[in-house]
Amino acid sequence: MFEIISLVRRNRGDQQARDQPRRRRAESMMSLFSKSGRTISAVAVALFCLGWQLPAAIAQVESYEQATVDENDQLRIVTRDGREIRPTNDGEQVGASYPAISPARNSVGWLALYPNCCTSYPIPLKLVIYSGGRQRTFAGIGLPVWRWRFEAGGRQVAFKQETVHGGYGTHYELRDVATGRLVADFEPMRGGSAPSWVQRLDLQP
Protein backbone atom coordinates (compact mmCIF):
# COMPACT_ATOMS: atom_id res chain seq x y z
CA MET A 1 0.00 0.00 0.00
CA PHE A 2 2.79 2.39 0.98
CA GLU A 3 4.59 1.46 -2.24
CA ILE A 4 1.53 2.47 -4.30
CA ILE A 5 1.21 5.82 -2.50
CA SER A 6 4.92 6.46 -3.01
CA LEU A 7 4.63 5.59 -6.71
CA VAL A 8 1.67 7.95 -7.15
CA ARG A 9 3.52 10.79 -5.44
CA ARG A 10 6.61 10.14 -7.54
CA ASN A 11 4.58 10.18 -10.77
CA ARG A 12 2.81 13.38 -9.70
CA GLY A 13 6.15 15.00 -9.02
CA ASP A 14 7.50 13.93 -12.40
CA GLN A 15 4.39 15.35 -14.11
CA GLN A 16 4.75 18.65 -12.29
CA ALA A 17 8.40 18.82 -13.30
CA ARG A 18 7.45 18.23 -16.93
CA ASP A 19 4.67 20.82 -16.74
CA GLN A 20 6.83 23.51 -15.17
CA PRO A 21 8.51 24.66 -18.44
CA ARG A 22 5.09 24.84 -20.09
CA ARG A 23 3.73 26.99 -17.28
CA ARG A 24 6.72 29.32 -17.58
CA ARG A 25 6.20 29.69 -21.33
CA ALA A 26 2.50 30.35 -20.82
CA GLU A 27 3.22 32.96 -18.15
CA SER A 28 5.76 34.57 -20.46
CA MET A 29 3.25 34.74 -23.30
CA MET A 30 0.56 36.18 -21.02
CA SER A 31 3.00 38.84 -19.87
CA LEU A 32 3.82 39.69 -23.49
CA PHE A 33 0.14 39.99 -24.41
CA SER A 34 -0.52 42.08 -21.34
CA LYS A 35 2.29 44.52 -22.14
CA SER A 36 1.57 44.83 -25.84
CA GLY A 37 -2.17 44.20 -25.86
CA ARG A 38 -2.95 47.61 -27.27
CA THR A 39 -0.49 47.17 -30.15
CA ILE A 40 -1.80 43.70 -31.01
CA SER A 41 -5.39 44.93 -30.89
CA ALA A 42 -4.55 47.86 -33.15
CA VAL A 43 -2.84 45.55 -35.68
CA ALA A 44 -5.77 43.11 -35.59
CA VAL A 45 -8.28 45.89 -36.18
CA ALA A 46 -6.18 47.28 -39.04
CA LEU A 47 -5.90 43.87 -40.72
CA PHE A 48 -9.63 43.26 -40.26
CA CYS A 49 -10.50 46.58 -41.85
CA LEU A 50 -8.00 46.03 -44.67
CA GLY A 51 -9.52 42.63 -45.41
CA TRP A 52 -12.96 44.23 -45.88
CA GLN A 53 -11.64 47.06 -48.02
CA LEU A 54 -9.49 45.04 -50.41
CA PRO A 55 -12.35 43.86 -52.72
CA ALA A 56 -13.61 47.44 -53.05
CA ALA A 57 -10.09 48.68 -53.81
CA ILE A 58 -9.62 46.02 -56.50
CA ALA A 59 -12.97 46.95 -58.05
CA GLN A 60 -11.94 50.59 -58.24
CA VAL A 61 -8.54 49.80 -59.79
CA GLU A 62 -9.85 47.74 -62.75
CA SER A 63 -10.37 50.07 -65.73
CA TYR A 64 -12.03 49.25 -69.06
CA GLU A 65 -10.97 50.49 -72.48
CA GLN A 66 -13.27 48.64 -74.88
CA ALA A 67 -16.65 46.94 -74.85
CA THR A 68 -17.82 45.45 -78.13
CA VAL A 69 -20.15 42.75 -79.44
CA ASP A 70 -18.58 40.26 -81.85
CA GLU A 71 -20.08 38.60 -84.92
CA ASN A 72 -21.70 35.96 -82.70
CA ASP A 73 -23.44 38.61 -80.55
CA GLN A 74 -21.11 37.84 -77.64
CA LEU A 75 -19.64 40.58 -75.47
CA ARG A 76 -15.92 41.30 -75.41
CA ILE A 77 -14.40 43.61 -72.78
CA VAL A 78 -10.79 44.83 -72.87
CA THR A 79 -9.21 46.26 -69.73
CA ARG A 80 -6.71 49.11 -69.59
CA ASP A 81 -3.84 46.64 -69.14
CA GLY A 82 -4.90 44.67 -72.23
CA ARG A 83 -6.72 41.75 -70.62
CA GLU A 84 -9.75 40.34 -72.44
CA ILE A 85 -12.89 39.50 -70.51
CA ARG A 86 -15.72 37.39 -71.95
CA PRO A 87 -18.72 37.43 -69.59
CA THR A 88 -20.71 34.21 -69.72
CA ASN A 89 -24.33 34.17 -70.80
CA ASP A 90 -26.93 33.17 -68.24
CA GLY A 91 -29.63 30.59 -68.84
CA GLU A 92 -31.30 31.02 -72.25
CA GLN A 93 -29.44 34.20 -73.15
CA VAL A 94 -28.34 34.17 -76.78
CA GLY A 95 -26.37 37.40 -77.08
CA ALA A 96 -25.69 40.97 -76.04
CA SER A 97 -26.30 44.43 -77.46
CA TYR A 98 -25.72 48.12 -76.78
CA PRO A 99 -22.55 47.88 -74.68
CA ALA A 100 -21.23 51.04 -73.01
CA ILE A 101 -18.47 52.00 -70.57
CA SER A 102 -19.14 54.30 -67.61
CA PRO A 103 -17.58 57.81 -67.58
CA ALA A 104 -15.12 56.70 -64.87
CA ARG A 105 -14.30 53.61 -66.99
CA ASN A 106 -14.79 51.32 -63.98
CA SER A 107 -18.04 49.67 -65.15
CA VAL A 108 -19.37 48.15 -68.37
CA GLY A 109 -23.04 47.70 -69.19
CA TRP A 110 -24.97 45.92 -71.90
CA LEU A 111 -28.38 44.45 -72.72
CA ALA A 112 -28.82 40.67 -72.54
CA LEU A 113 -30.79 39.18 -75.44
CA TYR A 114 -33.24 36.29 -75.12
CA PRO A 115 -35.40 34.33 -77.59
CA ASN A 116 -38.99 35.50 -78.00
CA CYS A 117 -41.86 33.34 -79.21
CA CYS A 118 -43.62 36.17 -81.05
CA THR A 119 -40.75 37.82 -82.93
CA SER A 120 -38.15 36.69 -85.44
CA TYR A 121 -35.39 38.31 -83.35
CA PRO A 122 -34.25 38.03 -79.73
CA ILE A 123 -35.32 40.76 -77.33
CA PRO A 124 -33.38 42.53 -74.52
CA LEU A 125 -34.89 41.42 -71.23
CA LYS A 126 -32.11 42.41 -68.82
CA LEU A 127 -29.55 45.12 -68.24
CA VAL A 128 -26.20 43.73 -67.06
CA ILE A 129 -23.47 45.76 -65.33
CA TYR A 130 -19.94 44.38 -64.94
CA SER A 131 -17.51 46.02 -62.50
CA GLY A 132 -14.39 44.79 -60.74
CA GLY A 133 -15.02 41.16 -61.64
CA ARG A 134 -18.61 41.24 -60.41
CA GLN A 135 -21.76 41.11 -62.50
CA ARG A 136 -25.12 42.59 -61.51
CA THR A 137 -28.37 42.09 -63.45
CA PHE A 138 -31.42 44.36 -63.58
CA ALA A 139 -34.75 43.05 -64.91
CA GLY A 140 -37.15 45.70 -63.61
CA ILE A 141 -40.76 44.63 -64.07
CA GLY A 142 -39.88 41.95 -66.64
CA LEU A 143 -40.63 43.87 -69.85
CA PRO A 144 -37.98 44.31 -72.56
CA VAL A 145 -35.32 46.93 -71.81
CA TRP A 146 -35.07 49.23 -74.82
CA ARG A 147 -32.99 52.12 -73.54
CA TRP A 148 -30.38 52.51 -70.83
CA ARG A 149 -27.59 54.85 -69.76
CA PHE A 150 -25.18 55.55 -66.92
CA GLU A 151 -26.10 58.34 -64.54
CA ALA A 152 -24.27 60.19 -61.73
CA GLY A 153 -20.86 59.62 -63.29
CA GLY A 154 -21.47 55.88 -63.55
CA ARG A 155 -22.65 55.31 -60.00
CA GLN A 156 -26.22 54.77 -61.22
CA VAL A 157 -27.98 53.32 -64.26
CA ALA A 158 -31.29 54.36 -65.79
CA PHE A 159 -33.32 52.12 -68.09
CA LYS A 160 -36.63 52.12 -69.91
CA GLN A 161 -38.96 49.15 -70.36
CA GLU A 162 -42.07 48.65 -72.49
CA THR A 163 -43.83 46.00 -74.55
CA VAL A 164 -42.41 44.77 -77.83
CA HIS A 165 -45.06 46.48 -79.95
CA GLY A 166 -47.08 49.57 -79.25
CA GLY A 167 -45.20 51.03 -76.29
CA TYR A 168 -47.69 49.88 -73.65
CA GLY A 169 -46.80 49.68 -69.97
CA THR A 170 -43.82 52.04 -70.21
CA HIS A 171 -41.71 51.83 -67.08
CA TYR A 172 -38.48 53.62 -66.02
CA GLU A 173 -36.05 52.75 -63.24
CA LEU A 174 -32.98 54.40 -61.74
CA ARG A 175 -30.72 51.96 -59.89
CA ASP A 176 -27.55 52.14 -57.81
CA VAL A 177 -24.76 50.23 -59.57
CA ALA A 178 -22.89 49.10 -56.45
CA THR A 179 -25.85 47.81 -54.46
CA GLY A 180 -28.62 47.34 -57.02
CA ARG A 181 -30.90 49.47 -54.85
CA LEU A 182 -33.88 51.13 -56.55
CA VAL A 183 -33.24 54.89 -56.40
CA ALA A 184 -36.36 56.00 -58.27
CA ASP A 185 -38.92 54.86 -60.81
CA PHE A 186 -41.41 56.53 -63.12
CA GLU A 187 -44.44 55.51 -65.16
CA PRO A 188 -46.15 58.01 -67.47
CA MET A 189 -49.54 56.40 -66.76
CA ARG A 190 -49.37 57.66 -63.18
CA GLY A 191 -49.21 61.23 -64.41
CA GLY A 192 -46.82 63.98 -63.39
CA SER A 193 -43.74 65.41 -65.05
CA ALA A 194 -40.90 63.13 -66.05
CA PRO A 195 -37.80 63.61 -63.86
CA SER A 196 -34.57 64.82 -65.43
CA TRP A 197 -32.99 61.36 -65.57
CA VAL A 198 -35.98 60.09 -67.58
CA GLN A 199 -35.76 63.04 -69.96
CA ARG A 200 -32.07 62.41 -70.56
CA LEU A 201 -32.78 58.75 -71.23
CA ASP A 202 -35.51 59.52 -73.77
CA LEU A 203 -33.23 61.96 -75.62
CA GLN A 204 -30.54 59.31 -76.01
CA PRO A 205 -30.35 57.88 -79.56
Residue among 101, 104, 105, 106 at smallest CA distance from 57? 106
Which option is the CATH number for 64-203: 2.50.20.10, 1.10.1520.10, 2.130.10.10, 3.30.540.10?
2.130.10.10
**What is the pTM assigned to this prediction?**
0.70
pLDDT digits (tens, 9 = 90+) for 76-88: 999 999 999 999 8
Express each pLDDT in 151-168 by its tens digit: 999 999 999 999 998 678
Q: How far is CA 52 from the centre of its chain?
A: 13
pLDDT level of residue 184 (50, 70, 90 thresholds): very high
Computed over every residue of the chain, the mean pLDDT equals 81
| DSSP code per residue over 139-188 | -TTSS-EEEEEEEGGGTEEEEEE--SSS-TT-EEEEEETTT--EEEEE-G
Position 73 pLDDT exceeds 70: yes
182: Cβ–Cβ under 8 A, 6 or more apart, which residues?
173, 174, 175
Least confident window among 53-67, 71-85, 133-147, 150-164: 53-67
For the cut 70, the answer to whether the pLDDT of residue 13 exceeds it is: no
Q: Which residues are paired to 75 by β-bridges? A: 69
Worst-scoring range by mean pLDDT, 35-49, 118-132, 174-188? 35-49
The pLDDT, as a whole number, for residue 92 is 92
In 3D, which of 122, 113, 132 has the Cα closest to residue 59? 132
> Domain residues of the chain, as ranges?
1-61, 64-203
The greatest distance separating any two alpha carbons of the chain, rounded to the nearest whole angstrom, comes to: 106
CA distance 106 to 138: 18
